[in-house]
Amino acid sequence: MVAFESGFHGRTGFALSATHKPAIRQPFAPLIPDCSFLPYNDAEAAGKIADLNPATVIVEPHAGEGGVIAGTPAFLSAVEEQTKKAGAVLIADEVQCGLGRLGRLFAHEAYGMQPDIMTLAKPLAGGLPIGAVLVKEHIAQAIEPGDHGTTFGGNPLVCAAALHVLRRIDTPEFMSQVKAVGRAIKARADAIQRRFPQVITAVRAPQTGGPFVGMQMSVSPAALVKQCVDDGLLVITAGGTTLRLCPPLTMTVEEAESGMNTLERAMDAVFGTQGQ
């Protein structure tokens, strides 16, 4: 198996084996052996995947937990090309970046990728717990009824909710709104970065305009996260020092502006003397 250093794929045995961060892996060792990790967004390193003779390659088109990092076209193209050259299975982990987060129904569409397997979860059922694996026909042919089962698999209530979510997301009107919210958040994040250049060193967002923004900080975001919570705004971190903004897809531009106003006030409260 080949995975990437920024990746996070979950906490079951296989998924942990494909997750590089030692703090997450080590408490559950030993894990599945023979997983090679390559640097994310390094097209040259990805160009050597076939030499590792993998059975599968797993990649996030847009790395969330690793710091909200957009995969570059050159990198993802090399990953796909080398996976095919090796005769391996390409897995696109879209648990966090899929289902509208990048302004497209699926994240790999923004890059022209054709994965063999795609994983989905988080927003799929509108807050109800669900995970899904989509596979191409040649993968499906290798799976027989009864090969895999799960206690909560196929829950009819949750699946009905997921169908509703998909029907709502997969419309031009909805996705246009999602992109508008993403652009509004990115613009305000850029403005905040200009006010606090010593604290916010970079702002990362998908070029497709989705609401998935990372604000790279030069210090721990912990105090800022606490201040935001105290002020009624929920934000999370990624990659240790990245503030991650990934609001509900149903958010309006007005709500996004209100949230960013709260974030800016929190920045003033925590880092006021360092602002401009």
Residues 6+ apart with CB under 8 A from 152: 129, 158
**Are 31 and 18 contacting, i.e. CB atoms less than 8 angstroms apart?**
no
Tens-digit pLDDT string for the chain (276 aa): 999 998 999 888 889 999 988 888 889 989 988 999 999 999 999 999 999 999 999 999 999 999 999 999 999 999 999 999 999 999 999 999 999 999 999 999 989 999 999 999 989 999 999 999 999 999 999 999 888 888 888 899 999 999 999 999 999 999 999 999 999 999 999 999 999 999 999 999 998 889 999 999 999 999 999 999 999 999 999 988 999 999 999 999 999 999 999 999 999 999 987 767
Whether pTM > 0.95 for this model: the answer is no
The full set of domain ranges for the chain reads: 2-169, 172-274
pLDDT value of position 255: 98
Alpha helix ranges (H) inside 10-97: 13-17, 22-25, 43-46, 73-85
pLDDT for position 145? 86
What DSSP designation does 88 have? Answer: P
Which of the four CATH numbers 3.40.50.720, 3.40.220.10, 3.40.50.2300, 3.40.640.10 does domain 2-169 have? Answer: 3.40.640.10
Check: CB of residue 274 under 8 Å from CB of residue 198. yes
Domain with residues 172-274, CATH architecture: Alpha-Beta Complex (3.90)
Question: ∠ at Cα 151 (147, 155), nearest 5°?
Answer: 105
Using the CB atoms, write b or e for 163-185: b if 16+ within 10 Å: eebeeebeeeebbebbbbbbbbb
Distance CA 4, CA 108 (A): 16
